[in-house]
A and B are shown apart, each in its own frame.
Chain A
């Protein structure tokens, strides 16, 4: 067997693309070819649409796709988390049924973890899964479910054993979202957008073969999903569509990305829009106010240092050295930057900060910053949880004494919700 290296991979993928790439094909038709060849997800196992390629060589394949302008497999959205979870924990049946349609983009997915009563404390989920006859019956409520209104399938964490300890009574399911027992309602946020949903389960059914791993393994499986969610958080934001390329397949891909990314359209405002600060300060004359100048400077220092801290972490990683503490701070730093940016935009904008929509500066963008920034320090792990993670994992400080992890979940004090046992 010949050695696999950058040159051999490049030559092989290039030859394959030159023979097979055809922008006249339909998106799904082309992606099925990618599944059959293994070039769509080359780091996946050979028996599941991949080529067992080392992860380090995947960028070579991406470069060749970009060079010829070839479209890749569906990568946006929760489907990537579903794929990673199924690859790690799923049965052969799961892999056969779901993986190909994830890659082709035919199925969309949602994640059903958070609940009204368990946000930071995800393992405190109280959505019930009861085995009745030969089927799992699901009752309860989930929240913050991106794209659940469009999803065919959901990754569900539910409580199947109330007498087991908190982390041991959870089970992980794949649930069919298109059934009468599943109702999806949009959740309107304080900034007026509705990027997420609430999902209500009333005697919803899960076939027994759609359980992942065994009863009681839910938390372990969820940890895999969450790990991939954190890793992917940055990648998703940079997801670009096919640029200005023409052709049916590009149009189809563009539409897919637009649909997937629609819930995220206010995310730049959520991050504070530091990029707008200097322009706004010049335009309003606030740049000449010594107090505002100081605040702008503080913000720019924070934002530049954040960028350099991320670059420092990335460079260390690229050089194959262990990441220092700088690698774990990005999320917390980003919310500091966002909050500071909102303050500075307010100082710069003055009374006009009160105005929104077409009456507000930049057609409402400044207003949208001011009412979106609070999300930054909550979504994806609150600042408080980030500080716990940093202090425990990076600084090796002891955990607080636990009051809930060692007793039967039935006896743990918790929020009152309709699904509670």
Chain B
């Protein structure tokens, strides 16, 4: 499998980098993270009109651009670099869920809005237990008058308090099933959670007899949603290596500029060796993330293990890089005014999101040790 980027992909990356650096300077990140919503609806629409972010991997038949996971992952990596405050990951996750589980009519109805940025969507599958395994889901969906009603609590839902469309994983008599619910549905109570990482908001959603529409066959969600989670892990890993690389670069720039004992601290071997180790960590995680994205596009049968490998690798690398970056900045790195903590906190939240390194290592081993 080839997984080096083509010159077209590299060009796409450099255009995106310039674009996102313009749209998401840290001043804007700091403004948005202080708001309850966490992102700006007009700005998000405009970004999607100008360049199209969620549209990248949605097929053209459903209003998207029809590129692969590799291109989408370039978008996510670049968004990670700027800790873009936008419902990009949530909408991507939801779009993949709809693609994996929905029928043709549902895809036609739901995806174009997500592709254009008009509809902000998310996936609610984790509950208060914080268990990332879909089998742990307790929320029930009961058939009522030709439709379904949802009862229970979802938590750790990314952008759950602001999303227009929520894809919900629940249990029916037939087994795990997916449903779609409107963000303003009656009986749905949405609460913004206080979180470490305010650049990506999480919500708790309490459902009391909320009307829900099945997405795909009722009772048939386990297999398609497992595929979705695999791809979501690959996407998140790629976003994370963008965060990690930006952290590494900022630590390097600072070390070259910071003078102590009459010389730049970058000239001390302790700093040089740390930076070399950081480069190794980040490049290894990048290789795994890129390989996993290529494995999605190639339909590699070993994808679930590769995806978990990439997520585990990214989880360890991004957090370690963030820790080193704060350390290299010294006292200033621990201040609110210094930007390092924006990436540190995104690193921390992404490390845990969708399962931490140990969780994904175990998933990988279940595949490879069998």
Contact = CB atoms under 8 A, between A and B. Distances in A.
Interface in B311-369: 312-313, 358, 361-362, 364-365, 368-369
Contacts of A400: 267-269
B276 interface: yes
Given A293-B362, A300-B368, A301-B309, A397 B275 contact: yes
A300 B365 CA distance: 10
B364 A305 contact: no
Interface stretch (A112-120, A193-201, A381-389): A381-389
A336 interface: yes
A16 interface: no
B33 interface: no
Contacts of A396: 256
B19 interface: no
B280 A297 contact: no
Contact of A384 (B273, B275, B287, B364): B273
Interface stretch (A88-96, A177-185, A312-320): A312-320
A298 interface: yes
A395 B275 contact: yes
A302 interface: yes
Contact of A398 (B2, B264, B273, B309): B264
A58 interface: no
A325 B275 CA distance: 12
Contacts of A336: 280
B279 A395 contact: yes
A394 B249 CA distance: 12
A305 B288 contact: yes
A326 B289 CA distance: 14
A332 B266 CA distance: 20
B279 A300 contact: no
B284 A309 contact: yes
Contacts of A281: 369
Contact of A308 (B266, B268, B271, B287): B287
A307 to B, nearest CB: 8
Contact of A297 (B256, B268, B275, B361): B361
A191 B69 CA distance: 48
A333 B269 CA distance: 19
B276 A390 contact: yes
Contacts of B291: 304, 308
B267 A397 contact: yes
B275 A319 contact: no
A366 B180 CA distance: 55
Contact of A395 (B252, B288, B290): B252
B362 A294 contact: yes
A383 to B, nearest CB: 9
A63 interface: no
A297 B267 CA distance: 36
B92 to A, nearest CB: 23
A304 B266 contact: no
Contacts, number: 120
A388 B287 contact: no
B108 interface: no
Q: Which of the four size classes fits the interface of chain B? A: 35 or more
B258 interface: no
A312 B364 contact: no
A397 B362 contact: no
Contact of B3 (A302, A312, A386): A312
Nearest to A398: B267
Nearest to A307: B287
A204 to B, nearest CB: 38
B285 interface: yes
Contacts of B313: 301, 305
Given A293-B362, A306-B284, A329-B279, A397 B272 contact: yes
A255 B249 CA distance: 51
B266 A398 contact: yes
Interface string A278-310: 100110000100100110111011101110110
A84 to B, nearest CB: 28
Q: Residue among B252, B276, B283, B364 with the most chain A CB within 10 A? A: B276
The A contact surface, by secondary structure, is helix
Contacts of A410: none
A397 B4 CA distance: 27
Interface string A389-420: 01110111111110000000000000000000
Nearest to B273: A387
A401 B263 contact: yes
A248 interface: no
A302 B268 contact: no
A52 B283 CA distance: 37
A399 to B, nearest CB: 7
Given A301-B309, A397-B255, A333 B280 contact: yes
B28 interface: no
Nearest to A332: B280
B4 A391 contact: no
B277 interface: yes
Contacts of B280: 329, 332-333, 336, 390
B267 A312 contact: no
Contacts of A326: 283, 286-287
A347 to B, nearest CB: 14
Given A315-B4, A329-B279, A401-B263, A301 B368 contact: no
A291 B247 CA distance: 31
A308 B368 CA distance: 18
A312 B287 CA distance: 7
Interface string A243-282: 0000000000000000000000000000000000010011
Given A388-B276, A396-B256, A401-B267, 16 more contacts: A287-B369, A300-B368, A305-B313, A308-B291, A309-B283, A311-B287, A312-B287, A325-B279, A332-B276, A387-B272, A387-B273, A387-B277, A390-B279, A391-B272, A397-B266, A398-B266
Interface of B: 2-4, 7, 252, 255-256, 263-264, 266-269, 271-273, 275-277, 279-280, 283-288, 290-291, 309, 312-313, 358, 361-362, 364-365, 368-369
List 7 tightest A-B contacts by C-beta distance, closest first.
A391-B272, A315-B4, A297-B361, A387-B276, A308-B287, A305-B284, A390-B276
29 contacts: A281-B369, A290-B362, A294-B362, A296-B365, A297-B361, A301-B309, A304-B288, A304-B291, A305-B284, A308-B3, A315-B3, A321-B7, A326-B287, A329-B280, A329-B283, A386-B276, A388-B269, A390-B276, A391-B276, A395-B252, A395-B279, A396-B256, A397-B266, A398-B256, A398-B266, A399-B267, A400-B269, A401-B263, A401-B267
